[in-house]
Structure 1
Amino acid sequence: MSIVTAPLPGTVLALADVPDPVFAQGMVGAGAAIDPPAQVVEVVAPIAGRIVKLHPHAFAILGEDGVGVLVHLGIDTVGLNGEGFTLHAAEGDALAAGAPVVTYDVPSVIAAGLSAVVPVVILDAPADSVAQDSAAPAGTLVAATTPLLTVTR
């Protein structure tokens, strides 16, 4: 069993409420989402592991137990070409849970007319192996590093 923590502060949303059908329908994987406050926030590693993919707007981290987590900062933010994101890690870095990965300028994403919602998805995991943590049900305000998801596979 693995605990995945919130990578940033905000209000927890069910993945089905993400304004993007690919995430909302679970095509990327099971998980949850966070609606961040309209301010600049630090995004941290939700698990200990190695960054296997890193873009300004998204990263994937693989834990030693084989659990992979995708954190996608906003919806359709790839088109911002890195504007509004400052990287603090590099692809291949091994990080402790809670280590800084990206500074996320939420107001700049909102000003661009995009959703700032952050899907947090467990990669390659069946939906029944991922449960939203009882400490962070939808509607809950969480801080970074608050338990968010439990992976039971």
Structure 2
Amino acid sequence: MLSVLSPVAGTAVGLAEVPDPVFAQAMVGPGTAVRPHPGPQDAVSPVDGRLVKLHAHAFVVVGEGGRGVLVHLGIDTVKLAGAGFERLVDEQAEVAAGQPLIRWDPADVAARGLSSIVPVVALDAEGDVISRAVSGAVERGTPLFRWA
């Protein structure tokens, strides 16, 4: 059982609330999302593992049993070409759950006309049991869901 932690502080909501059909319809995979608190904050690793992909606005950490967890900071934030995001580690680094990976400001994303919601997705989890552990207020490091 892999516990996936919240990468940001905010309010946990279902993927259906993400204003992007690819995430909302769980085409990327099952999971949940967090509406982040406004203001500068660090997005942290949701699991222990290897940081296999690191973009300014998104990252994938592969943890226990080769399970990959995608964290996407906002919707359509790739359009910002890295503006407003600061990478704190290098791709391929071994990271611990709760370790800061990217510094960003959700209020800045929203001011640019984009959604700051943060999908947290279990990649390649077809047929696996994903249980949503929490909804409502979360801090960084709060368990979001379990992946069996």
Identify whether the pair has TM-score above 0.5, normalized to the shorter chain. Answer: yes
How many percent identity over aligned positions? 49
| 1:124/1:44 CA distance change after superposition, 3 Å | same
Report how many aligned residue pairs link the two structures.
Answer: 148
3-state secondary structure, aligned to 1:19: coil
| 1:127/1:78 CA distance change after superposition, 3 Å | farther
* Other-structure match for 1:141: 137
Shift >3 Å, 4+ stretches: none
Contact 1:60-1:70 at 8 Å conserved across structures = yes
2:147 to 120, 136, 151: 151
How far apart are the structure 1 equivalents of 2:64 and 2:2? 11
* Other-structure match for 1:9: 9
**1:15-72 CA distance string (max 9 Å, x none):** 1111100000000000000000111111000000001110000000000321110000
Structure 1 residue 151: Cα displacement: 0.2
How far apart are the structure 2 equivalents of 1:131 and 1:112? 34
3-state secondary structure, aligned to 1:29: coil
Structure 1 residue 107: Cα displacement: 1.6
Spell out the pairing of 1:1-153 with structure 2 (5 A cutoff).
Answer: 1-126=1-126, 129-133=129-133, 136-137=134-135, 140-152=136-148
How far apart are the structure 1 equivalents of 2:71 and 2:127? 17
Contact 1:29-1:127 at 8 Å conserved across structures = no
3-state secondary structure, aligned to 1:79: helix
Q: TM-score, normalised by structure 1?
A: 0.94
Could you tell me which amino acid in structure 2 is paired with residue 125 of structure 1? A
Structure 1 residue 128: Cα displacement: 5.1
RMSD: 1.0
3-state secondary structure, aligned to 1:92: coil
How far apart are the structure 1 equivalents of 2:25 and 2:74? 17
Structure 1 residue 4: Cα displacement: 0.3
Q: Which runs of 5+ in 2 are unaligned?
A: none
